[in-house]
Amino acid sequence: MIWRQVAGDPEALWSGFVMMDKTSGIWLLHSTPTFPYKRESNSFFPASGKTNGQTFICVTFPYDRFKDMYQYIKAPIFEHHIPNDFHQSLQDAANENRLNPNELKELSYQLKSIGGQVEFKHGDLYVTIADTIKSNVHVQTWGRQSGRSGNYESANRYHVLNVECISIDSRLWKPSHDHSKWCVSNSGDWTCIADSNRAESQFNRPGGALCINNKGAASLPVEGI
């Protein structure tokens, strides 16, 4: 199943796809608009995705988690290929009505991946993440969006701080040229790969993050801040 952002669609924030067999599957979450563009190999990755920095993360889940995930993702699927002899539950998930967005504003859901634990969030995303992991966080999101939010202190007194520049192999990436969406905790053990920008226009739209509790993973983006 493939879904992506659709211009003008207030629910279309998630972008990604899943590939699975009857026992497990891979979920790819990313920040590249209109990717996948089409399933055909010659138009799979859009040319616009090569201009700015992006994030991609693949996570493997047991099959029985995907239907639950889909109810929370609310992904607007534009293409899928499901064999007739595949699980009926997956075919139903691709066609059924999804939850009302008003039911998801402050909803969180904890999933277990094959390799470990992953957190899934909806709402005012980075403030919710900071409060959940009980840590200040540094956040990188697209810098050209109107209504971009500044640094913020949550009700629980955790700070959400915008990253102003990333250095990778002596090259500097500013938010105006970095479309990636992620945050790391000051405690150094959480990394969250997300799909939402820090902008008021996105606070009430479906979206979320995959959060990894691993010091090794968290150290990689921290080194570039």
- Residue 173 is predicted with a pLDDT of 79
Same domain, 74 and 128: no
- Residue 12 is predicted with a pLDDT of 45
Same domain, 9 and 41: yes
Same domain, 98 and 13: yes
Q: How far is CA 131 from CA 127, 136, 158, in A?
A: 6, 8, 7
Same domain, 7 and 85: yes
- Residue 139 is predicted with a pLDDT of 93
Instruction: Give CA angle at 130 (129, 136), nearest 5°.
Output: 150
**Residue 116 resides in a domain:** no
Domain count across the chain: 2
CA 80 to chain CA mean position, Å: 20
* Domain C-terminal end among 70, 103, 136: 103
Same domain, 129 and 99: no
Same domain, 63 and 133: no
Same domain, 208 and 143: yes
**Residue 112 resides in a domain:** no
DSSP-derived pairing of the beta strands 2-3 and 77-79: antiparallel
Domain that holds residue 55: 2-103
pTM as predicted: 0.72
**Residue 109 resides in a domain:** no
- Residue 137 is predicted with a pLDDT of 94
DSSP-derived pairing of the beta strands 152-153 and 209-213: unpaired
Same domain, 99 and 128: no
**What pLDDT tens digit does each residue of the chain (225 aa) get?**
444 444 444 444 456 777 888 888 888 888 887 777 666 666 677 777 788 888 888 888 888 777 667 666 666 676 777 888 887 777 776 666 444 444 444 444 454 555 554 444 444 688 889 998 999 999 999 887 766 778 888 888 999 999 988 887 777 878 888 888 999 998 878 999 988 888 877 776 666 788 888 888 777 666 666
**Residue 114 resides in a domain:** no
- Residue 3 is predicted with a pLDDT of 44
- Residue 136 is predicted with a pLDDT of 95
Same domain, 11 and 66: yes
Same domain, 164 and 75: no
Same domain, 81 and 128: no
**Residue 27 resides in a domain:** yes
* Domain C-terminal end among 41, 73, 103: 103
Helix or strand holding residue 108 (H, E): strand 108-112
**Residue 108 resides in a domain:** no
Q: How far is CA 145 from CA 16, 160, 170, in A?
A: 21, 18, 26
